[in-house]
Every structure is written in structure tokens, then in C-alpha cells.
Amino acid sequence: MGSSDGQVQGLTKIADAGQPTQRWNVVIVSEGYRSDEMAQFTTDAQQFADTLLTTAPYDRLRVAINVYRVDVTSTDSGARDPTSCGGTGAKPKTYFDASFCTSGIRRLLVGNSGRVIKVVSKLLPQWHMALLQVNSSIHGGSGGSVATFSKAPNAIEIALHEMGHSAFGLADEYEYFAGCIADHGHDNHSGSEPSQPNVTTNKNRATVKWHSLIQAATPVPTTQNANCAGCDPQPSPVPAGTVGLFEGADYFHCRVYRPEFNCRMRNLNQPFCGVCQQVIAQKLAPFLPPS
Amino acid sequence: MAKTRRKATKAKSRKSLTKAKSRKRTVAGRSRKSVAKKAKPAKRVAKPKARKRLAGLKSRKPVASSNARKPGKKATARKAAKKSESVESPAESPKAVRLTFSYQGDQVKLVSQQPVEMTVPPSDPLKGYEEHKGFWAEVKNAQDKTLFRRVLHNPTRNDAEVFSDDPEQSISLEPAPKRKGVFVVVVPDTDKGHEVTLSRSSGLPDIPEGSPRGMTAMRSLATGPATEIARFKLKK
């Protein structure tokens, strides 16, 4: 169990933008890959790096971003999948003990973050963002200081969403907790202004956090939820990519606003909204080489 | 008079020691860089032990080290840098401290302080967040003035994001009580930094077990303005 079930093989730079002291360093770590599966991890890690560096706004910031891969072998392949959540009951011996069904939640895939941090810090003290790629085709993942994701189709989207939280402090822009139908008590936001840069309770066009991105012709608020007992069903009244004030975000149906109708922080497989892109660009500005 | 001379001599020897140490650090830094550069064609970065051997470095202990920051070394490095650190523009200085916290329930502990030569993303706003909700870490000076602030997606929350294939609601939350784990905050390493504080909004009072799922989960939702929950001394 644990670190006796595998071996740390080393660190490899797979996207090189320069010295790690000067650049923003993303590290992707393997979990549940046997030694004979490490070639697959090389491919998977490269796929992640390629996706990251072709995703806006990272695509135009790629000269600021190093991506590294940490090869860690495990005795067995995959991740634990307890039957209590409807899983297969698999109990592979892996280095970071990744498991589905964390806290009884089927798709909550979590590894030993402390161990990941220890391994990554030894190999690359300058890391900014650590991700754990789990060798499983079951859809799952989790956030935190170490974003974890599986190899299921689209699971990279989980990693990109969680990076928004972990690396840039972005809030969730969805307007429900368990779901639009399942929710109870998520009608109205408390009123305290969220500290995150991409959600707000402020309806004032002149003073809202992202006022500089709102065009004069865009109505503010841009959408309002007519029934705060549930999610707002109306389609966007403005073209995609329009920054405004859309009611419903931060797990509440009303009295809190998001910057665009859709965003990767609201729904997977969507681009980051303009405000999230701006925040990411601002945070990565010091890592850009001098022009 | 003699006392003054003794003081001057002491200061002089301290200065030369500082210079020597500073030279050593510079050489070490250069060696480390050159090793990384050598490794570049193969794109394989040496393991720490090998790197240490090649560079002839006396290694700093990583994350878990409690004595990673020895008094004097930091001051020496700063003198060597020959520039004042600007906390508001941390990108100008590559010196940082990686703070690793552990949490279990509401309890948060600072597990380690690891000095690292790295660039830190800029601070979040230092003013106008008094009544805000959320979670953030702040570096304070001796007068309790905030020098640096990092807004975090609450790492200690009692819920977890769950992902599905549903294109309309691909993300939702589930209550995940009694969670424990670690989180990391990297802050600029500065002479002025005295303490680090963590602030967090309080959740709603406990709701009985068996309440509807969304309602039970509200326990963990931070709703009110954040208040300070922990304060730790930064090692000098």
C-alpha cells in the first residue's frame, strides 16, 4: 500500500519555455501506471500538455509555461473502485492510493495529495500547479492543491476546470449545488461579495469587478432569473462571448452574477469566459519573457 | 575606543563572511542552472540526488523540512541580491516561500515553510475586501499590515465537485464531510513578512442528518464575510 507500491522514476520537461525560476511550472504526475505502461503515460501527459497549450488563454501565454511530467510507476494498474459506490471492487496497489468513491461519491477520484506534493517538491521545488493523471477509463476527478483526473474521454476538461480553482482562485459559475432540481435553499445569495474575481453581487455597471470588459450596448444586468426557486431556463439574449452580468452563479439561483452566459467554470467543454481569461493572463504576466 | 574597534572588526568579518556565502550561493545557483541546461537536450531533468551531486550543492530540504530556513542564510542571500524586495511586485524577485498547510475539519496547521527560488504570481487586491466572503491567505508585516494576499478556492470545504457527462450540468457538488488533506500557498519571501494569516467565511449552522441533499450541503457553503481563522509566524 502506498509508496511501497511503486517507484518515482524522475522528472521530464515536455513543454519548455525556459528556466523554472522564471516560468509558470505545471507538473503532471502518473498514478496507477505499471512500469510496462509508462509509454502510455508519456503519450497521455503529452496530450494533456498539448491540450493545455492550445486552450485559450494558455495558448497565447505558452511562452510563460513549462510543463513537466513525473513518471511514477505502480505495482498495479488503475485505481480503487469500491463496490459500495457501484464500482467493480478493484483494489489495485498504486503509489498514490487513488480511489473513486471518496466520501461515498462514485466519481470523486482522489489520490494522496500530500504524497504528490512531497514527490513534486523534491523533483521541482518551483512547481506552481500539480496534477495527478490516474490510469483509469472511468470518468472522475477532484480539485484541491493537486487536481486529479482520469483517462476517461474529456477528463482533461476536469483538469482545466480545477486548474481555474487551484491556480487562479476562480469561483464556480454554476448556479446550483446538487443540481437545478435537487437543490434546496439555494434561491438567493447571502449578499456578501465573493472574493473571487469572476462572480459578484454588485449590479452597478460602473463599479462591478469586470466593468472594463462590459460594452456600453450590453444591458446590465444582462439576464435576470424570474423564478429564484430554480435555475434560470432562458437562453442567452446576447451573442456568445458577450461580457455582462448574468444572474445565477456561485451555487445560487439569484442575487449573484457571472460575467458571461457560459464559461468553463460553469460547464465543462466551454471556453473560459473573458473575465476568467483576463485573470489567468494577469496572473501569468510576470512569467512572460521580456519582449 | 577599543570597544568601537572590536565592533568594527566584528562587522568587517561578518561582511566578508556574508560575501563568501553570497559567492557560494551564486556559484551554486549557476551550477544548478547549468545542470538543468545540460539536461535540456535529453529533456530529462536529473533526480534531486544526482543534481545535488553534480552541482556540489548542500541541499535544502524539501517541503517537509522543519529546519529548512536557517537564520542568517536568508539575510545573506538578501544582501547578495543587493536590492530591496517589493512585495507588491513579487515578480521582480524570484525568492518565495512555499507554505504547506494540513487541515482536518476546521483545524488548519502550518506543516512546513520551504524557501524556493521561483517567481510568484502577483498579489490579489490588498484593499476593499473587508466584507468579502471566501478564503484567502495574507502575509502581514510586524504592524499587521497586509503585504500580499492570495485568494483561494476554499481548500477546507466539506463538499466536492463531481463531474458527469451531462452537457447541461457537467459539474455539481456533493457533501463530503470530514475531509482532511493538505494545501499549498506560495508567497513572496520578504524581510517585511512577519506572519501569515488564513481567513475564511463561516458556513451555516449544522443541519440535521437526513435533510435533503442540497440543504445538508449548505452547511459547508461559506455565506458570510470571512474572518481570520489561523495565524502563523513566518520563519526568519
CATH number for the domain spanning B155: value is 2.60.40
Cβ neighbours of B183 in A, within 8 Å: 144-145
CB distance from A285 to chain B under 8 Å?
yes
- What pLDDT digit, counting tens, does each position of B56-107 carry? 323 333 332 333 333 344 444 344 333 333 344 444 558 999 999 999 877 8
Averaged pLDDT of chain B: 67
Does residue B217 lie in a domain region? yes
Does residue B29 lie in a domain region? no
Nearest CA-CA distance, residue A76 and chain B, Å = 24
Percentage of chain B surpassing pLDDT 70? Answer: 51
Q: What is the mean pLDDT of residues B17-30?
A: 37
Does residue B12 lie in a domain region? no
Q: What per-residue confidence (pLDDT) applies to A113? A: 94
Does residue B2 lie in a domain region? no
| CA pair distance B156, B103, nearest whole angstrom | 7
- What pLDDT digit, counting tens, does each position of B217-227 carry? 444 455 688 99
| pLDDT band per the 50, 70, 90 thresholds, residue B44 | low
Structural domains counted in chain B? 1
List the domain range (segments joined by +) for residue B223.
Answer: 86-233
What are the structural domains, with CATH classification, of chain A?
2-167 (3.40.390.10), 171-291 (no CATH)
Nearest CA-CA distance, residue A55 and chain B, Å = 19
Does residue B98 lie in a domain region? yes
Does residue B78 lie in a domain region? no
Cβ neighbours of A193 in B, within 8 Å: 129, 131-133
CB distance from A11 to chain B under 8 Å?
yes
Does residue B80 lie in a domain region? no
Encode chain A (291 residues) as per-residue pLDDT tens digits: 677 899 999 999 999 999 999 999 999 999 999 999 999 999 999 999 999 999 999 999 999 999 999 999 999 999 999 999 999 999 999 999 999 998 888 889 999 999 999 999 999 999 999 999 999 999 999 988 899 999 998 899 999 999 999 999 999 999 988 888 767 778 888 778 999 999 999 999 999 999 999 999 999 999 999 999 999 999 999 999 999 999 999 999 999 999 999 999 999 999 999 999 999 999 999 999 997
Cβ neighbours of A210 in B, within 8 Å: none
List the single residue in B64, B160, B163 with the smallest CB-CB distance to A118.
Answer: B64
Does residue B198 lie in a domain region? yes
